[in-house]
Each structure stands twice: as C-alpha cells, then as structure tokens.
A and B are shown apart, each in its own frame.
Chain A
C-alpha cells in the first residue's frame, strides 16, 4: 500500500524559505503515469493546489505561486520536495503531499504537516 509522509520544519520565519520533503513508501516514485503534488490548507480554510511534478522532472505550478515555488524529485531516495520562498503569515497552512494519475484526481495523500510562518 502506497504511503506518503511529509517532513520538515514546523516553524519558518517571515521572508525565509519553507522546505518540505515527501517520502514515498510502498511504491516507486519513478512509476510511469503518476504525478506527485503539493496541496496546502490554511487553518479553517479550503484546499489550494501548489504544484505537481512528474518523475521525469517536468513541473507544473499554480500561477499564483509560481514565482516562489520549486518542486523537485529525488528518485534515488523515493522523495520529492517543495521549496516556497519569501514566506509570509499567509503561507501558514497544513501542507499535504499527494499522488495523482494523469487524469488529475488525488487518490493518495500524506497525513499533512502544519507549517507556521512567524518570527
């Protein structure tokens, strides 16, 4: 059974870079036909798609965040990562990693990790 687990600092200072890693177990991140994505949810609010990456390295970003986001994949470690630069309090959220098929629905999710932006 596929499992995804987010890891990274729970507290980031304003203007710094948020960095998270998603470790995939129970399956290979190099499996063809799957994309690996990041989605966030501010406390008490809805879901916002951040971006996705294909195992080959092709990336797709939310235009609203594109200038600050980098998603990368490390197939040797079966991990993919998120970097979000110049964070503000508005970036405080639970960050989820997830897998989606080419059609775009997310069947597999990590448990989520809360990242708070505060000095």
Chain B
C-alpha cells in the first residue's frame, strides 16, 4: 500500500498571502495525484487531478505541481473561503486509493 504524508499539519496564513502545502508518497505515483479541499460539515471538493490539472470551476489561484513522490499545492493569494483542510490522494496503484492525513489552513 502506498502511504501518503502531508506537511505541515497546520499552516497559519494571513488573507492575501501565499500558501504552499506539501504531499509525499512512499513510492512513485507518477502524476496520478489529486488534491481536495474540505470545509467543516461538507464533503471534500476536488481541486486538482493529474498532479497539476485544475478541476472544473476551480479558481486559477490554486495550482498543483510535482511528480513521482513529491507534490505541492499552492494557493497564490488566500481568500477567506480558502481556509479549510486539504487532502492529497494517490490513484496510481490501487486498490487501495490512499489519502494523506490532511493539512489544515487557518487564519493567522
């Protein structure tokens, strides 16, 4: 099973600032990685798939990069609605699909 790790666990950012979230896979997942945003009481929302392709309707301030075992989600200028928990997920080698433990982005 591929184990996903994320850092940091919590990221405190001021509105308008840039946020950089990291995700690491225990073995190569090529570019088969997705990012999700989850707000309290809501289902996760797909942001990025294929490591760098924005899902339908996702603002351009969200960008993904990386391949192999190291991935990054960047939010270029944090808006109030972006404070949430972010998860990465690999789908290169399944079953199982595996998720990272999440990074909480909160207001500094």
Contacts and interface: CB of A to CB of B under 8 A. Distances in A.
Interface stretch (A14-22, A43-51, A73-81, A83-91): A43-51
Contacts of A47: 36, 44, 87, 89, 99, 102
Contacts of A112: 43
Interface residues of A, number: 24
B100 interface: yes
A46 to B, nearest CB: 5
A87 to B, nearest CB: 19
Interface in A45-74: 46-49, 51-52, 60-64
Nearest to B53: A105
Contacts of A51: 95
B98 A49 contact: yes
Contact of A103 (B91, B96, B98): B91
B46 A46 contact: no
Nearest to A104: B91
Contact of B34 (A60, A105, A111): A105
Contact of A104 (B1, B94, B101, B102): B94
B95 A46 contact: no
B96 A63 contact: yes
B55 to A, nearest CB: 6
B43 A109 contact: yes
Contacts of B46: 105-107
A108 to B, nearest CB: 8
B97 interface: yes
A46 B102 contact: yes
B49 A105 contact: yes
Given A47-B44, A106-B34, A109-B44, A62 B96 contact: yes
Contact of A49 (B49, B55, B56, B96): B96
B95 A105 contact: no
9 contacts: A52-B95, A52-B97, A96-B43, A100-B97, A104-B92, A106-B36, A106-B89, A111-B43, A112-B43
